[in-house]
Amino acid sequence: MKSFDAIVIGGGQAGPFLAARMVERGMKVALIERKFLGGTCVNAGCMPTKTLVASARAAYVARNSAVYGVNIPGEIAIDMKVVRARAETVTMNARNGLIGWFAGMDGMTVIYGHARFEDPKTVSVNGETLTAPRIFLNVGARPVIPDLPGINDIDYLTSTSIIHLDTLPRHLAVIGGSYIGLEFAQMYRRFGTEVSVIEHGPKLASREDEDISDAIADVLRSEGIDIHTGVSDIAFARSSDGITVATDSARIDASHVLIATGRKPNTDDLGLDAAGVITDKHGYITVDDTLATNVEGIWALGDCNGHGAFTHTSYNDFEIAAANLLDGADRKLSSRILAYALYIDPPLGRVGMTEKQARASGRKIMISTRPMSRVGRANERGETKGFMKVIADAETKKILGAAILGIEGDEVIHGIIDAMNAGTTYPALQWSVPIHPTVSELIPTVLGDLKPV
């Protein structure tokens, strides 16, 4: 049996950085990764997909260049082999960077293999047994495949496998109208593929307020994406030239099907029962406000604990654990203000409560909205789709939440994220003097128009 000061299972966005901090403190750490260092973000999420989004936007701008007085003769062609290679290069650069970083650390042992608990202090991997007083789980999540008629008879894609396509689908059917599915839907439409989105619920991006969801649908429809919501029945069958997707309201002749119906944690094969670690009914590991599980000496970080399925929330889990365990701090998971983005174009930046959540909280609230067509930068760039929306507490004057669907919305939202984390009231932010011409300059105007509801 090999002994360590700590064992980290999973090489995503929380565990490796925590391992590195512990090594800096002179600890002996084992980092166990089943497949690739970097987790979902580096290998199948943020980095490759946003690289693909950038290629898709380049195609979109080229096709619409005449609007700006730039004439490009001939058809805009897509070389998917180059597109794919570019995304793979970004991934490999990041992955190899992590490999090189850890290789130079004394005290760090990187093991590739599948780890399972033998007891609360012991794990086995590749026939070896390792023990440590502290074990950190950062095992991530994977796509959910629903049990739909005919699904096992077709060759479907997931968010992991679609990034490796080097040919352009004739018609892509996207099953699931949430964040992952919508990004791929617009991306492939801009590459030139016919795209249909099929969503079981009554609206796209169901977490958002109805006006945001409607605006997202308008953006996608304006680019020629076929959207079906409220679909109760879906079945698949092979056809002579692809896949038939039959719903209760339509029949779609697709060449490819992307299943984007959510993700589930990679916790079902870790031997958690042997350690006594509790999970909820969805398989997420139950943690307290410090990310500790019910078993002393075991923590769960990142997607597998169900408290945010984002790279930045996973990294924040590392920050919380490191601060508390190594720096004597008292940071809490409950102090985190959730923020995220949807990377369609224009993007959606979101922070805090939705209007629906704010109304349900019983607070006296104020709301303001402004169309992006009122933003000088948006008009100058010819990108006026979307709007800004801010919700505030009428009594405390603090901002409760905001949504910015529009040009640079994923960047502009950070002004509000910072204000909320600092506890700044909206009147203080209202009297800031932003730079012109920027998208952010409309924020004081939006705040000045807050009205009680």
Cite the active site residues. 436
**C-beta of residue 392 within 8 angstroms of C-beta of residue 451:** no
**C-beta of residue 301 within 8 angstroms of C-beta of residue 136:** yes
Question: Look-up: residue for tokens 């919380």?
Answer: 320
DSSP string, 343-377: -SSS-EEEEE--HHHHHHTT--EEEEEEEGGG-HH
Question: Look-up: residue for tokens 């599948």?
Answer: 114
Neighbouring C-beta atoms of residue 286, cutoff 10 Å: 14
Amino acid at 240: S
According to DSSP, the residues that pair with 285 across neighbouring strands are 279
Name the burial class of residue 100, with classes exposed (0-12), middle (13-18) and buried (19+) by CB atoms within 10 angstroms of its CB.
exposed
Neighbouring C-beta atoms of residue 368, cutoff 10 Å: 18
- What is the token pair recorded at 265? 């944690």
Phi–psi pair at 367, nearest 5 degrees: -135, 145
Q: Phi-psi bin for 48: left (phi > 0), alpha (psi -120 to 50), beta?
A: alpha
- The continuous run of DSSP H or E covering 64 comes out as none
Rounded distance between C-alpha atoms, residue 269 and residue 272, angstroms: 8
Pairing type for strands 298-300 and 134-137 reads parallel
What sign results for the dihedral spanned by CA atoms 422, 423, 428, 429?
Answer: positive
